[in-house]
Amino acid sequence: MPFEMLIFDNRQVGMGICAVYNKMAEQAKFDNLLFVHEDIVFHTYGWDKVLAEKFAEADCGVIGFAGGTSKYPFPYGWGGSKRFIHRNYIQDFSYNESKYIKESADEPFTEVITLDGMFLAARKDVWSKCRFDDQTFTGFHSYDTDFSTSVHVAGFKNYVCNNVLIEHQSTGSFSKTWYQSELIYLKKWQSVLPLYITPRHTAEEITENTRKMEYRTLRRLFKLGILNREEAVAAVKKFRKSHPFSIYSLYLISKLPKA
């Protein structure tokens, strides 16, 4: 298919990724857009036609290769618990090992809410309605979760592609900056979270899934050292208030970072 590559060297300018993506999308002359990291390898010939055929569906939103069918009001990025994750790609790890990660349904496309930013494809009309939020997200984190959430809330359907194979040659990282961006995302979308793809969950399931996801998120933040002890203690107190009598509170107390 006819294509163009719009490459922006951001090493000296240092613009946020949302601003860069919007700038390039404005210049694009074709109807289909692909926002892709520089370390992606395509292993499937004709992948462009596969995506173009899906874009012919009026309600198609963003297509990627790793996403989640739920989004809880906690700072964990696009993924979530394993039950709600769908992935289809080869991941290269820093210790010179690659692994084919396949955690998705046996179908060409699986509907999700949030997507990983290594690969985000969308029609130009979808992007124009849900531009990357370069006013709120001025750095390099949470842009993918925010963009895919925006497209989902606007009424489009986001998908993980299962019949094309790509390779991602680096892994993500988590830092204090990433955590702060996640908090900004949560504040922006607090009125609509949590979000789920059908089939609908019962109120009891939502409560239990929320409790488990909050517990796992806090454990991860403790383990990564993103929260200091004072922040961690405050987070545990908030958890105990939200989920009184939960055994998870005791687990969190035992995992508190040292002063």
Other CB atoms within 10 A of residue 220 CB:
15
Q: Are residues 206 and 194 in the same domain?
A: no
Q: Are residues 185 and 82 in the same domain?
A: yes
Domain limit, last residue, from 182, 200, 218 = 200
Q: Are residues 239 and 186 in the same domain?
A: no
pLDDT of res. 57 = 98
pLDDT of res. 148 = 98
pLDDT of res. 200 = 61
Q: By C-alpha distance, which of 122, 226, 212, 242 is closest to 182?
A: 226
Residue 195 · residue 70 · CB < 8 Å: yes
Domain limit, last residue, from 200, 225, 241 = 200
Q: Are residues 189 and 97 in the same domain?
A: yes
Q: Is residue 211 part of a domain?
A: yes
Residues of the chain with pLDDT under 70: 198-201, 259
Q: By C-alpha distance, which of 110, 114, 132, 111 is closest to 78?
A: 114
pLDDT of res. 204 = 80
Give residue-wise pLDDT tens across range 171-220.
877 889 999 999 999 999 999 998 988 666 677 877 788 888 899 899 98
Q: Is residue 104 part of a domain?
A: yes
Q: Are residues 210 and 169 in the same domain?
A: no
pLDDT of res. 120 = 98
What span, in angstroms and rounded, lies between the C-alpha atoms of 258 and 28?
51
Domain limit, last residue, from 184, 200, 216 = 200
Q: Is residue 7 part of a domain?
A: no
Q: Are residues 186 and 244 in the same domain?
A: no
Q: Are residues 108 and 171 in the same domain?
A: yes
Q: Are residues 49 and 133 in the same domain?
A: yes
Number of domains the chain is built from: 2
pLDDT of res. 201 = 67
What span, in angstroms and rounded, lies between the C-alpha atoms of 148 and 146?
6
Domain region containing 256: 201-259
Q: Are residues 107 and 195 in the same domain?
A: yes
Q: Is residue 11 part of a domain?
A: no
Q: Is residue 22 part of a domain?
A: yes
pLDDT of res. 94 = 77
Give residue-wise pLDDT tens across range 152-178.
999 999 999 999 999 999 987 788 999
Q: Is residue 23 part of a domain?
A: yes
What span, in angstroms and rounded, lies between the C-alpha atoms of 214 and 219?
9
- The tokens for 181 are 């961006």
Q: Is residue 2 part of a domain?
A: no
What span, in angstroms and rounded, lies between the C-alpha atoms of 167 and 88?
9
Q: Are residues 137 and 227 in the same domain?
A: no
pLDDT of res. 210 = 82
Q: Are residues 100 and 209 in the same domain?
A: no
Q: Are residues 99 and 224 in the same domain?
A: no
Residue 177, domain CATH: 3.90.550.10
Q: Is residue 72 part of a domain?
A: yes
- The tokens for 65 are 């290769």
